[in-house]
Structure 1
Amino acid sequence: MNHSTLGFVLHDVARLMRKRFEQWARAADLTRSQWQVLAKLSIHEGIHQKGLADLLEIESVTLVRLLDKMQERGLVERRNHPTDRRCSLLFLTPAAHPLLQFMRTIGEQTRLETMVDFSTQEHDQLLHYLERMREHLLAACGQPVDEPPGCAGEVKHG
């Protein structure tokens, strides 16, 4: 009897993909957190630290530590904001671009390993289903939750 549920399987697949990506990323001496900073920053160059922390869904203090290490390594640059001295803007350095390309390559390698025996049709179908699930959850997350289902009167607030 199979006791797998959709949530557990999705979580496990995502965890294993991250683990495999990290195995490849060790060759570049880069953590997954640092890769996420590089990836987001490549799309949002010139963003301020608080904005990047929000995009990454991490605390500002955590991002500051990551950025300090990455700046020491010559991958990111902090520049003064032109009108607000309290905030700095973030940019990739030229040294970050080859590393970013390498990380994209190992991301693709990880995806290939994940989907090795899937046909193009199966791949497209799975992606379609997952995108639909994401849309449903985005819509659901936009709705208020009054009471968990099946718990009428059982869960006390406060």
Structure 2
Amino acid sequence: MCPSRTRPLYDGRCYNVGDSMGHQLVRMVALLRRVADARMAAHGLTDAQWKPLWLLDSGRCATPIELAREMEIDAGAVTRMLDRLETKGLLVRTRSDTDRRVVQLALTEAGRAAAAQVPMVLAEVNNDILRGFSAQEHQQLRHFLERLQANGEAMQSATATATTPAPGIPDTP
């Protein structure tokens, strides 16, 4: 028998994935991604095209390594993605003048034009998903999400600290 819903909010003895906040968030993100991808297709953009173009255009990324980190994909996948974008004439890669190991990415005029469509589509998707929400409810939702993110980052930091071996102590037996 499950105890009443007091602290803690979840109990492993009667944990139901359908009631899980994490599961609901994952499903929500997947839904938003599907809707955004369908609407981006109307502009001739696939998921593997609009995300890197937008990240480059917004200044969040300027190198393949930054794209890999931001998109949470491996270097090989980034290289293949950049090959396709370069073939389509949406970006160019150049070696850094100061460090030849670093590749700089820049959008072409066509890439900038394609990237300009992305925030319009994303704003439309967000507005549609928030239909019926008041401005106050939207702010409250954002506040809750920020608190969840802060809690998650604290958990991640604590986990990283707990798994880091103390100085002078080997991490393997």
The 2-side partners of 1:52 and 1:19 are apart by 21
- 2:56 pairs with one of 19, 41, 66: 41
Could you tell me how far apart the structure 2 residues matched to 1:49 and 1:11 are?
A: 26
CA contact (8 A) 1:45 1:90 kept: no
1:65 aligns with 2:104: no
Matched, 1:4 2:4: no
2:136 matched residue in structure 1: 121
- Of 16-25 and 31-40, more deviation after overlay is shown by 31-40
Deviates more, 1:30-39 or 1:44-53: 44-53
Bigger relative contact order (CA 8 A; separation at least 6): 1
Residue 75 of structure 2 is aligned to residue 77 of structure 1? no
Classify the secondary structure of the residue corresponding to 2:42. Answer: helix
* Equivalent in 120, 123, 129 of residue 105 of structure 1: 120
TM, length-normalised to structure 1? 0.82
TM-score, normalised via structure 2 length? 0.76
Aligned residues: 146
For residues 99 and 12 of structure 1, the distance between their equivalents in structure 2, rounded to whole angstroms, comes to 28
The residue aligned with 2:71 is: 56
Which residue does 1:87 correspond to in 2?
Answer: 102
Could you say if the C-alpha distance between residues 30 and 124 of structure 1 is closer, same or farther in structure 2, counting changes exceeding 3 Å? same
Once residues 45 and 133 of structure 1 are traced to their aligned partners in structure 2, the CA distance between those partners, rounded to angstroms, is 23
Q: CA deviation at 1:70?
A: 0.5
Contact 2:55–2:61 (8 Å) recurs in 1? no
CA separation of 1:61/1:98 partners in 2, compared to 1, >3 Å: closer, same or farther? same
2-structure distance, mates of 1:44, 1:103:
14
Kindly indicate whether the alpha-carbon contact (under 8 Å) linking 1:46 and 1:89 is maintained by their aligned counterparts in 2: no
Q: State whether residues 45 and 91 of structure 1, in contact with CA within 8 Å, keep that contact through their aligned partners in structure 2.
A: no
Contiguous gaps of at least 5 residues in structure 2: 1-17, 163-173
- Contact kept, 8 Å, 1:79 with 1:89, in 2: the verdict is yes
| Structure 1 runs not aligned, ≥5 long | 147-158
Structure with greater Cα Rg: 2
Preserved contact between residue 46 and residue 91 of structure 1 (Cα < 8 Å) = no
**RMSD of Structure 2 on Structure 1 (CA):** 2.2
